[in-house]
Structures are given as C-alpha cells and as structure tokens.
C-alpha cells in the first residue's frame, strides 16, 4: 500500500534536490531561494540547517569531504563546519540574469548541473512573455575542468542516468519535455539528444527526477501534483497522486533505498495559488515496491 506522509514541516520557500547519502545514512535537501541546505535522518529526525551566501540550485557531497554547491554565482566547494565556499568556476559570470539550478553526479564522479534564466520565474504566458534560453548544461570533471554539454536552455532540471550509464536524462522545464542523450561514461560525452517523454498534454511540467534500480525514470510534476514513472522506452508506467500541487524533486533513499523522498515549493509562482497546509514540506512515499540506486559522490 502506497503511503505519503509529511516527514519534515520545513516550510521551504523553494525546496529542491533531495539527496540520500548511503555513507552517512542521511538525507540532504536545499531551499534554493532561501540559500539553505538541510540534513536529517531517514525518519526526518535530527534536522540540521546550513547556510550558503546566495541562491543554491543543487549540491553533491564530495569523496574528500564537504560538498560541491551550484550557486547563483557559479560552482563552489563547500565546507559544512565553517559554512564557507570556495569558487571553482562561474561560466556565466557575464550574465547576472542566470543562475545554476539542478545537478547530480555520474558514476565516474563528475558533477553535471545546468543553469536557468531568472526570468523563468517571472514570465507570464498569458501576456505572451517567454523566458530567455540563456542557460546551459555543464559538466565538472574530477580534474576541475568545466565542459559545456548543451546551450539554449530556459530552466535546467532533472539530470540522472540509466543503471547501465548509457543514457543521460535531462529536462528543460519550460519546454515540458524530458530529453535523453547517449552518454559515454568513460569520456563524459553526451550526444544524440532526443525527446524521451512529454508533459505537453498534462497539467504541470517536469521538474526534478531520479532513476530506480529497474531503469525506470521518476519525475516530479511541478504544478501538477503528481509523481510520474516512465519505462526505459519512454512510456508512462505509473502515476502517483501527491497531496501538494507544487512538488519539485524526488530521490530514493532510506536504509533499503525504498523510500521516495519528495521536496516541495512553499511560495506562489506564475500566479498559481498555494493553498495546501503542508506546502514547502519534505515528504516520504513508501510502499512503491521498487528501490533506487546509491547516489555517487563527486570524486574531485
């Protein structure tokens, strides 16, 4: 039996990026626009909060300790004890209207994260306004080298990999499309982009995503109040209703990797009202009958 429960009443402004770390047996997540990182146990206890200096889009733990954080002003190393950052690279330093957003680590320890235009938050489709496509998708190698994998993106979201490492999934949230790339895990090259799944005929659009041990892709349908599971061939396999309309991202975790953790948005956006009492909270979904895969750490 599937059960969805509020795990932490975090009241996040823009909760994002649940990250289960198998080494620590702890769950991390962020509040993007509040510039905060959270950490707790699998059951939601012992909640800790850490601060970063500006908007944060995603984070990854490092093998050498600390984290890589994708901030509005570039990629940085983060020290949890001192709560300080050290700049790695800022590929869009000449454009103050973009910031880093969602990101994850591939199984060779590279960090892949994309950027988005700030005007994505402000656009008004009813007035014919559209966000700019000034964002990109970047890969931070274990040697510290930064490579651009894609350009012309409005809002980067949901990077994740198939269990065999041959496919990179990625979403441009504004397009309401999830893409698949051929991925070479040895070189990190991403080629042959094609549409994997579409939300164009659904309420809401794709946001954060993860892949389970069976190779199926799970996506948070932001503004749609549902979690979607897609088969490796792109066919919609399952719909899980969700009690909060603006869910933002998903990640399997817990001691058996069988709990789906879900972050949500507490602020209103695009004129869509936020009425649910538990908006902005961290949720846990159990009874799905599937398990996730361990999330790698950045190896640089």
Q: For residue 21, give the nearest of 254, 209, 213, 249 by alpha carbon.
A: 254
Catalytic residue selected from 172, 207, 212, 258: 207
Does 12 carry a binding-site annotation? Answer: no
Does 101 carry a binding-site annotation? Answer: yes
In angstroms, rounded to a whole number, what is the distance separating the alpha carbons of residues 239 and 242? 9
Q: What are phi and psi of 60, to 5 degrees?
A: -145, 140
**26-31 and 15-21: which strand pairing?**
antiparallel
Does 16 carry a binding-site annotation? Answer: yes
201 is catalytic: no
In the numeric block, the tokens 């289960």 are attached to 20
Q: Are 62 and 297 in contact (CB under 8 A)?
A: yes
Does 165 carry a binding-site annotation? Answer: no
Q: Are 141 and 300 in contact (CB under 8 A)?
A: yes
Active site residue ranges: 207
Annotated binding-site positions for a divalent metal cation: 16, 157, 207
Annotated binding-site positions: 16, 99, 101, 119, 157, 207
Annotated binding-site positions for substrate: 99, 101, 119
């Amino acid at each position: 039996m599937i059960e969805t429960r509020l795990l932490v009443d975090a009241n996040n402004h823009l909760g994002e990026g649940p990250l289960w770390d198998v080494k620590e047996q702890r769950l991390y997540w962020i509040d993007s626009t509040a510039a905060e990182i959270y950490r707790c146990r699998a059951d939601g206890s012992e909640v800790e909060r850490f601060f970063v200096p500006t908007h944060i889009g995603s984070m990854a733990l490092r093998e050498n300790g600390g984290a890589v954080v994708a901030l509005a002003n570039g990629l940085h190393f983060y020290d949890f004890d001192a709560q300080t950052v050290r700049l790695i690279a800022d590929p869009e330093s000449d454009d103050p209207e973009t910031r880093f957003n969602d990101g994850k680590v591939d199984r060779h320890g590279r960090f892949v994260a994309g950027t988005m235009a700030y005007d994505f938050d402000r656009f008004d489709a009813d007035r014919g306004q559209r966000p700019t496509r000034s964002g990109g998708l970047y890969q931070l190698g274990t040697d510290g080298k930064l490579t651009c994998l894609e350009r012309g993106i409005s809002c980067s979201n949901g990077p994740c990999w198939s269990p065999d490492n041959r496919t990179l999934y990625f979403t441009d949230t504004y397009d309401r499309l999830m893409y698949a790339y051929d991925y070479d895990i040895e070189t990190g090259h991403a080629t042959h982009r094609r549409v994997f799944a579409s939300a164009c005929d659904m309420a809401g659009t794709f946001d954060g995503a993860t892949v389970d041990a069976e190779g199926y892709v799970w996506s948070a349908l932001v503004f749609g109040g549902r979690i979607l599971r897609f088969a490796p061939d792109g066919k919609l396999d399952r719909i899980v209703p969700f009690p909060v309309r603006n869910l933002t991202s998903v990640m399997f975790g817990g001691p058996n990797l069988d709990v789906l953790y879900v972050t949500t948005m507490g602020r209103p956006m695009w004129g869509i009202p936020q009425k649910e009492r538990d908006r902005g909270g961290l949720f846990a979904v159990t009874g799905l009958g599937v398990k996730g895969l361990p999330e790698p750490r950045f190896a640089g």
